[in-house]
Every structure is written in structure tokens, then in C-alpha cells.
Structure 1
Amino acid sequence: MRGRLGGIARHDRPRGAIETLDHVSVTRELGVRGDLRGAIRPGKSGRRQISLIEAESWEAALAELQPAPDHDLLWHVRRANLLVQGIRLPREAGKIIAIGQSLRIETTCECDPCNRMDEIHPGLKLALMPDWRGGVLGRVISDGDIAIGDEVRIEE
């Protein structure tokens, strides 16, 4: 099963503005370079180092919400780091997501939607809850430089 990387985003502080990128370095030390959550703090496991969401899951949530046409909800308001397209992300810990030539991410848990989602749009939290629509969290196990359009694969 193969998909594509459809988007890259980061934010440098809590509740900070989201910056979208065409390419970025992702490392075991820092996660998505420049992202608040990427660096693993001493004594922590890094299980929430990087977040990924499926474009198809985001679209399913929006179909349920049916936001007004003038209310544009782009994927990165979810505050995920990576948007993948055409591939179903693992729904269990310990699976490996490969992106581009060398980036490898080990899935650690579901990215449960928080109350912040309802601040963005009423009902968004509930729309993201079924079937891991909120995405997955993981830890970087192999560094890589990635760009929009890179291949995404699930490795066993």
C-alpha cells in the first residue's frame, strides 16, 4: 500500500500560528524541525513527537460537519504535522510509516481530538473521534528530509 505526502505543517509555540511548508527535515532529536512538540524532553518517551492525519479522514469529518461555504477548514487547523493521501494509517502502536527516502516513524497511539477542535469549529472534536480520524502519533526512528509529493508506505 502506497500513498503520498500531501502536506507539512508546524507551530513553534502552544496555540501558535500554523506554518505550512513544502519540505522539511525531520530528526530523532527534533521531530519536524521548528515544531514545538518535536524535541524529546529529558525523561520523556517521545511518543507524541510527530502527528499524522489522513486526507480522507479529514474530508469525512468535514462531510459530517458541513461547514458553511465561507468557513474554510484547511487540514492544518487540526494542528497535525503531516497530511497523507491515498493510504490508511495504522490503527495500532508499533507499525512503521516510511516517508520519502529515509524517514521512518513508529506509531505510538491515536491522536485523540482535544477540546481545542471545538474552539476551531463547533462539533469538530466529535467529527474527528470515530475510526482514528484525528490521526496517529509517533516517534521518529530514522531521520529524513521530506517534501510534499513524497511516497508514503507502511512497513511491517
Structure 2
Amino acid sequence: MMTAGTLVGIARHAFPKAPMELIEAVDVTVEGGLHGDFRGAVKPGGRGKRQVTLMERGDWDAAMADLGHTIPWQERRVNLLVDGFDIPQVPGTRLRIGAVELEITVECDPCSRMETIATGLKAALTPDWRGGACTRVKVPGRIAIGDPVSVVSFS
């Protein structure tokens, strides 16, 4: 069994292309994902596959090392940054962050917008799920910086 990691970053954006807002804590709901983040709302008829996105600090640091840059992690436009934790690359795996449970749905593919941040960033985030994972909220609650991150169950 994997050891627990730590939630070290929370970011959200109110609308598409909005700047990322760094916050210390946030409520997470089954219907809306992170409170105040436009992407978390489940659309009518949708499955909510991309409600909450997360990535590993080590993967971001490795991408930065590859490129020789020091860009803040939130420019990746994911919601959560975890440290000391290897995100399972297995859809259906359930994670617990604080009181919240998330189910991994798909790899969070780096988009072309990454190239506008730094040339080569999309490619640097592509191998081995470096860009992170997309999740669906299964158990709502509140999360905060410093909360433990662990695997609840594998699919």
C-alpha cells in the first residue's frame, strides 16, 4: 500500500482562461467540484470526468528541470498539487484528500496552452502522466493545504 502524501496547493479559476486563484482551503461538492471553479460543475447529461484535476509536485519539478524554467505550478491550470504521493495511473482508483474522496477518471493531457507558457512544456508534461489526473468527486467535504492524500481503493 502506498504511503500518504500531502496536499500542498489548491487553485481554481472562475471561468475559462481566467487567472488561477491560489487558496488555502475549499469546499468540494459532488455537483460542483471545487467551490468557485467553473470546470467542476457536472453538465446536464455529463459524467463529470474532469471535475477536479491534480498533479504531483515532483512531476512539475521534473518538467521544469527539463526545460530550465521555474514557472509557478498553478500555470499548469490544475486544481490540486500533491507532494510525496504517486498518483495511480489507473482509472477507477479512489483517492482521499482530507475528508473528500475522488475517483481517477482519465489522464490530464497537457493542452496546447502549455506551449504559450513555455516552449516544450506540453512535451515535458506528456510522458508517464506528468500532466496529472482528472477525477470525479465521490464524497464531498472540505479540503485544505496540509491535508493527507492517500489511496482508498483500486478499481
By the TM > 0.5 criterion, same fold? yes
TM-score normalised by L of structure 1: 0.95
Alignment of 1:48-67 (within 5 A): 48-67=50-69
Segments of structure 1 that go 5 or more residues without pairing to the other structure are none
- Separation (CA, whole Å) in 1 of partners of 2:141 and 2:97: 8
Which of the numbers 83, 87, 95 marks the counterpart of 2:81? 83
Which of the numbers 72, 75, 83 marks the counterpart of 1:74? 72
Describe the SS at the equivalent of 2:150: strand
TM-score normalised by L of structure 2: 0.96
Count of matched residue pairs? 151
- Runs ≥4 in structure 1, deviation > 4 angstroms? none
Alignment of 1:1-40 (within 5 A): 1-40=3-42
Between the aligned residues of both structures, percent identity stands at 48
What are the superposed Cα offsets for residues 87-121 of structure 1, whole Å, 9 maximum, x if unpaired? 00010100011011x20000000000000000111
The amino acid across from 2:137 in the alignment is: V
- Separation (CA, whole Å) in 1 of partners of 2:124 and 2:14: 26
Offset of residue 85 of structure 1: 0.3
Aligned to 1:119: 116
Describe the SS at the equivalent of 1:141: strand
Are 2:150 and 1:142 equivalent residues in the alignment? no
Offset of residue 155 of structure 1: 1.4
Are 2:96 and 1:98 equivalent residues in the alignment? yes
What are the superposed Cα offsets for residues 16-75 of structure 1, whole Å, 9 maximum, x if unpaired? 0110000000110110000010010101100011100000000010110002xxxx4110
Segments of structure 2 that go 5 or more residues without pairing to the other structure are none
Aligned-residue CA RMSD in angstroms? 0.6
